[in-house]
Chain A
Amino acid sequence: MKVKIKSNAFLIAVSAVILGLLAGGLLMMSIGSNPFEGFYYLFRGGLMNMERIGNTISTAITLMLVGLSVAFAFKTGLFNIGAAGQMLVGGLCATLVAHYVFIPRPFYLVVIIFCAFLGGALWGVIPGILKAKFNVHEVVATIMMNWIAYWSIYYFVPAYLKGPSLETESKSIAIGQTLRSPWLTGIFGGGYINLGIFVAIAAVFVIKYVLDKTTLGFELKAVGSNRFCAEYAGIKVNRNVVISMMIAGGLAGLAGMAYYTGYSRNIQIGVMPSMGFDGIAVALLGASNPIGVLFSALFFGMLQSGKGFMNAMTEVPPEIADTIIATIIYFTATSVLFSRFWDSVGRRKRDKAQQKSDQDESKEEVSHE
């Protein structure tokens, strides 16, 4: 599938965000709430003090990694809607490491990152192989993989990682084994902030480097923009499809690690992580560009972490944040509307300039006479 990226991706993103917020405002008005008050508390909830900012960032970490995963697959023309399942598997691997591997901190971090990546990559590579070898549509395949992960964890966690009290979640990870770090927590004065932030930012730049500066990245993008052309040029299309899904899965696995062993300290069963789908929104708004993903993840992270505060202070249900995100995606999908609009604005400006210069010329002519 083609994901068309226009040169004015930034304008489109901004227009989509404005329309999404507008739609959110209208919805707030429709239930008799003051939209300005609603948005004030929504943003305040995400940003009012260091701890809240830390929480916004730590929500954004997960979204960023999932967004990167989806964006990376987009670049090869693949739609990875299975980030939720890859997150679950990567998160489970990370949780297992956190429970059973006790080694010095630097080595431990390497091991946990490696295992989470591997778990997610495994879950991503299966649809990749199915796509490459059997032409199975990756959208349906990844959704099936989501549910397989969901049910496997539903039975695996109570059987092997059962918590002392609750049946529905795994036992908590010892605080020293999570990704939280005392100095980071100290800077932000508590909250969910964790070392995942460095993983996410590193991932953004690694992916940017891979896509822009390496042969692999070039091949992946070539396959994404025209697979027949790429094949003709001697690029092994199927191999690239598999690699792309593997890396995308791995990134989502890292998101699972950041979420289940950093933001949270256990895995809940019977919950499909909604970030797996919000990540699609992040990738689309960021125009599949790693830097774009970074900023759109921060924006959505703010909406997600502020919604609870808004709900406490006003009558507006927290789902307003998800509605805004979904509306933004709809408007990103229909971006042709905006590009037409901005094109026409540009044309009108040009026409005006043209007219003006024409007028000037004619004036000059007049003055000559």
Chain B
Amino acid sequence: MNNTTTKQSLFTSPLGIAIYIVVGLVLLAVMATNHLIGMILPYAIAYTIPLLMTALGGLYSERSGVTNLGLEGLMLVGYFASALTINLTEQTLQASALPLGLLAGVLAGALFSMLHAFASINLKADQVISGTAINMLASALTVYLARTIAGSGNVRIMLGIVRRDIPGLSKIPGIGTLFFTQSYWSTWVALIVWGASWFLLYKTSFGLRLRACGEHPSAVASAGVNVYGMRYFGVGMSGALAGLGGSIILITYSGEFNGTVAGLGFLSIAALIFGQWKPLGILGATFFFGTATTIANVSQVIPQLGVIPPVIFKVFPYVVTLLALIVFSKRSAAPKAVGEAF
């Protein structure tokens, strides 16, 4: 498609070059303190995975032609559902409560996203407003339910995923120690989901149809495809994956439902745009955000970074997103029919 044009605009635009320089400088700063990579990378991956899943969900939805601004809320629903499930079952089920929690998060997200699907597909509602309603509803309803079911706005779980070395692969020098030691199993699940999604969307006729629904729905409809069904699937997947993202936050680094995912859902939408609505692009974009967040969080304990005021690190991901959007929005690779009712 317009792969070449975006690449051209990236390399020729002064802003694009500026972004590369900034990112490069940060990477260099990290490289310079080499042992830091080993310290930062596991956290960076941990922060990346929920974003990756949610942005991937957004990819399904937007590729099928439905803007989903409710990702933040859907993440929160998954976060809550898995916290509640694990909280209630961890005594009896022990470690197997964790996968059950993930499953609950996925289902809850998918179920909740049906509200958005119904509004934007059947009722042809304004999808941005419907998404906003989903966010507000999720943040009010989850805390409401947490208070009535668990007795407090915060739901804590005792269990968490134990980090494990991958047998065999962790022995590879360099890469092995970086990627295959001390990893969460949920990370591998997420990467498999990502790979499978790429295959489904780009290598099967089903995926072609789904993407066509986001580009030219009437053409697809005239070929006998059920556009409504495809869009329901896209929105449902976005709910399921955002729910998965929320659940992964819980069982990896949070350990407690506290009523907010702090803008990660919106950051995922930005990553989707940043990644130009492509699986590989969003992998890169979310990894960038994950790394930036990690650097912001650890900057105070690292002497080399401690000299820079922490506010710079905290606003860094958002400022870079704005800059990136400036570069990418001019020639947007967004699906053509996204946001339009059919």
A residues adjacent to B (C-beta < 8 A): 1-4, 27, 31, 79, 81, 130, 134-137, 139-141, 143-148, 151-152, 154-156, 277, 280-281, 284, 315, 317, 319-320, 322-323, 325-327, 329-330, 332-337
B residues adjacent to A (C-beta < 8 A): 69, 115, 118-119, 123-126, 128-130, 132-137, 139-141, 143-144, 147-148, 263, 266, 269-270, 273, 309-311, 314-315, 318-319, 321-322, 325-326, 329-330, 332, 339
Give 7 pairs: A residue, B residue, CB < 8 Å, sorted on A: A135-B329, A136-B322, A148-B318, A152-B315, A280-B129, A284-B129, A329-B132
Interface contact B140-A141, CB-CB below 8 Å: no
A125 to chain B, nearest CB (A): 14
Measured between beta carbons, the chain B residues less than 8 angstroms from A135 are 329-330, 332
**A144, closest chain B residue (CB):** B318
A265 to chain B, nearest CB (A): 25
Using A148-B315, A154-B311 as known contacts, say yes or no to A136 and B325 having CB atoms under 8 A apart. Answer: yes
Interface contact A322-B139, CB-CB below 8 Å: yes
Measured between beta carbons, the chain A residues less than 8 angstroms from B128 are 1, 79, 139
Measured between beta carbons, the chain B residues less than 8 angstroms from A325 are 136, 140
Interface contact A334-B314, CB-CB below 8 Å: no
Interface contact A139-B125, CB-CB below 8 Å: no
In-complex Cβ contact of A333 among B130, B141, B329 (8 A): B130
Interface contact B133-A333, CB-CB below 8 Å: yes
Using A135-B329, A143-B266, A144-B318 as known contacts, say yes or no to A333 and B311 having CB atoms under 8 A apart. Answer: no
Task: Name the residue in B136, B311, B318 with the highest tally of chain A Cβ atoms < 10 Å from its Cβ.
Answer: B136
A153 to chain B, nearest CB (A): 10
Using A27-B144, A141-B325, A334-B125 as known contacts, say yes or no to A147 and B130 having CB atoms under 8 A apart. Answer: no
Task: Name the residue in B118, B148, B314, B332 with the highest tally of chain A Cβ atoms < 10 Å from its Cβ.
Answer: B148
B269 to chain A, nearest CB (A): 6
State the 9 A-B residue pairs at the shortest beta-carbon distance, nearest first.
Answer: A322-B140, A326-B136, A326-B137, A151-B314, A330-B133, A319-B144, A317-B147, A155-B311, A323-B140
Interface contact B148-A134, CB-CB below 8 Å: no
**B136, closest chain A residue (CB):** A326
Interface contact A4-B325, CB-CB below 8 Å: no
**A335, closest chain B residue (CB):** B125
Interface contact B144-A140, CB-CB below 8 Å: no
Measured between beta carbons, the chain B residues less than 8 angstroms from A147 are 263, 315, 318
Measured between beta carbons, the chain B residues less than 8 angstroms from A148 are 315, 318-319
Measured between beta carbons, the chain A residues less than 8 angstroms from B126 are 1-4, 333
Number of A-B contacts (CB under 8 A): 137
Q: Give complex CA distance A333, B124 in Å.
A: 9
A135 to chain B, nearest CB (A): 5
| Chain B, interface SS category | helix
Q: Give complex CA distance A144, B325 in Å.
A: 11
Interface contact B137-A144, CB-CB below 8 Å: no
**B260, closest chain A residue (CB):** A272
Measured between beta carbons, the chain A residues less than 8 angstroms from B263 are 143, 146-147
Interface contact B119-A151, CB-CB below 8 Å: no
Measured between beta carbons, the chain B residues less than 8 angstroms from A323 are 137, 140-141, 144
Measured between beta carbons, the chain B residues less than 8 angstroms from A141 are 322, 325
Q: Give complex CA distance A331, B231 in Å.
A: 21
Q: Give complex CA distance A332, B125 in Å.
A: 9
A43 to chain B, nearest CB (A): 19
Q: Give complex CA distance A284, B318 in Å.
A: 28
Measured between beta carbons, the chain B residues less than 8 angstroms from A79 are 128-129
**A3, closest chain B residue (CB):** B126
Q: Give complex CA distance A156, B314 in Å.
A: 13
Using A135-B330, A140-B266, A333-B119 as known contacts, say yes or no to A130 and B322 having CB atoms under 8 A apart. Answer: yes
Measured between beta carbons, the chain A residues less than 8 angstroms from B315 are 147-148, 151-152
B244 to chain A, nearest CB (A): 22
Interface contact A130-B326, CB-CB below 8 Å: yes
Interface contact A330-B130, CB-CB below 8 Å: yes
**A281, closest chain B residue (CB):** B136
Measured between beta carbons, the chain B residues less than 8 angstroms from A151 are 311, 314-315, 318
Measured between beta carbons, the chain A residues less than 8 angstroms from B130 are 330, 333-334
A89 to chain B, nearest CB (A): 13
In-complex Cβ contact of B273 among A1, A140, A319 (8 A): A140
Task: Name the residue in B69, B124, B140, B141 with the highest tally of chain A Cβ atoms < 10 Å from its Cβ.
Answer: B140
Using A154-B314, A333-B133 as known contacts, say yes or no to A134 and B325 having CB atoms under 8 A apart. Answer: yes
A14 to chain B, nearest CB (A): 18
Interface contact A137-B136, CB-CB below 8 Å: no
Interface contact A317-B144, CB-CB below 8 Å: yes
Using A135-B330, A140-B266, A322-B139 as known contacts, say yes or no to A332 and B322 having CB atoms under 8 A apart. Answer: no
Measured between beta carbons, the chain A residues less than 8 angstroms from B322 are 130, 136, 141, 144-145
Interface contact A332-B129, CB-CB below 8 Å: yes
In-complex Cβ contact of B143 among A81, A277, A319, A334 (8 A): A319
Interface contact B314-A155, CB-CB below 8 Å: yes
In-complex Cβ contact of A144 among B134, B144, B270, B332 (8 A): B270
A267 to chain B, nearest CB (A): 16
Measured between beta carbons, the chain A residues less than 8 angstroms from B329 are 134-137
Q: Give complex CA distance A135, B202 in Å.
A: 28
Q: Give complex CA distance A333, B126 in Å.
A: 6
Given contacts A143-B266, A333-B133, 8 further A-B contacts (CB under 8 A): A1-B126, A2-B126, A135-B332, A136-B325, A277-B132, A315-B148, A326-B141, A333-B125
